[in-house]
């Protein structure tokens, strides 16, 4: 008969005594924590984020024509695939003047994609597009767009990225532009945004 192979146990640790074990000497033992009694008469403090002044409930008062649209990297690529002109299709969707805005992060991401996406890069360098400088480290565009939209609620975000859409839906008063059926559509845009104000 041959030797029976023992299976090796991974990530096993030596058994150690708890610091509260009775077998330890009194001086080495960990003392039990005493719970501090909270004063019931004391005021409770909690940190609440300040509600943006531009919102009237869910209605964003800062949004109005000309619309400033933050464009994500993949939105440009999918627009090329669907053979859509960015500015014209945006105007067809919103029935108003649109200014596409491109951050430095989105530009850096397009440059990183290389030769295959040179058409998208050429479109992004269009003089009709507004360039927005970034002050943070790195070139991750999703975080940049979410942070910018949280601070300034005057933008519509154009993206087809599912994760980014999910993150932006949590921010009140920020509409999302996406591509479906070879045209641009808008999500969460109240009916009276385009109506004239008296």
- Tell me the per-residue pLDDT of 67-78, one tens digit each, with 9 for 90 and over: 999 999 999 999
Q: How many structural domains compose the chain?
A: 1
**β-bridge mates for residue 102, sequence order:** 131
107: in domain: yes
Higher local confidence (pLDDT), 31 or 147: 147
Task: Tell which residue, 157, 161, 90, has the closest CA to residue 123.
Answer: 90
123-131: average pLDDT? 93
Helix residue ranges, H only, the chain:
73-81, 86-94, 104-113, 118-124, 141-151, 162-169
> Per the domain annotation, does 178 fall within a domain?
yes
174 or 11, greater pLDDT = 174
Task: Let me know: does 155 contact 60? Beta carbons within 8 Å.
Answer: no
- Assign 145 a pLDDT band (cuts: 50, 70, 90): very high
Per the domain annotation, does 137 fall within a domain?
yes
Q: Assess if residue 97 is contained within a domain.
A: yes
Coil vs helix vs strand at 50: coil
Residue 155 to residue 67: CA distance in whole angstroms: 7
Q: What is the mean pLDDT of the chain?
A: 85
Whole domain around residue 69: which residue ranges?
A: 64-187
Q: Which pLDDT value is given to residue 10? A: 63
Q: How far apart are CA 18 and CA 30, in angstroms?
A: 9
In a domain, 146, yes or no: yes
Kindly indicate the confidence band of residue 1, based on its pLDDT and cuts at 50, 70 and 90. Answer: low
Instruction: Answer yes or no: is 175 within a domain.
Output: yes
Looking up residue 160, the CATH number of its domain turns out to be 3.40.50.1010
- What pLDDT, on the 0 to 100 scale, is given for residue 112? 92
Question: pLDDT at position 190, please?
Answer: 62
* Any domain includes 99: yes
């Amino acid at each position: 008969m041959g030797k029976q192979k023992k299976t090796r146990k991974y990530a096993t640790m030596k058994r150690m005594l708890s610091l509260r074990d009775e077998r330890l000497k009194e001086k080495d033992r960990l003392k039990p924590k005493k719970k501090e009694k909270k004063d019931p008469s004391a005021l409770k403090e909690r940190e609440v984020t300040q509600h943006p002044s531009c919102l009237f409930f869910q209605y964003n008062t800062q949004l109005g024509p000309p619309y400033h649209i933050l464009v994500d990297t993949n939105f440009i690529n999918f627009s090329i695939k669907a053979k859509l002109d960015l500015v014209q299709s945006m105007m067809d969707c919103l029935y108003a003047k649109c200014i596409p805005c491109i951050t430095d992060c989105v530009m850096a991401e397009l440059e990183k994609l290389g030769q295959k996406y040179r058409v998208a890069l050429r479109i992004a360098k269009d003089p009709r597009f507004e360039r927005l400088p970034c002050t943070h480290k790195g070139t991750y565009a999703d975080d940049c767009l979410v942070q910018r939209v949280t601070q300034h609620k005057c933008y519509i975000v154009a993206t087809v990225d599912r994760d980014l859409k999910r993150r932006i839906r949590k921010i009140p008063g920020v509409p999302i532009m996406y591509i479906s059926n070879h045209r641009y559509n808008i999500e969460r845009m109240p009916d009276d945004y385009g109506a004239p104000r008296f």
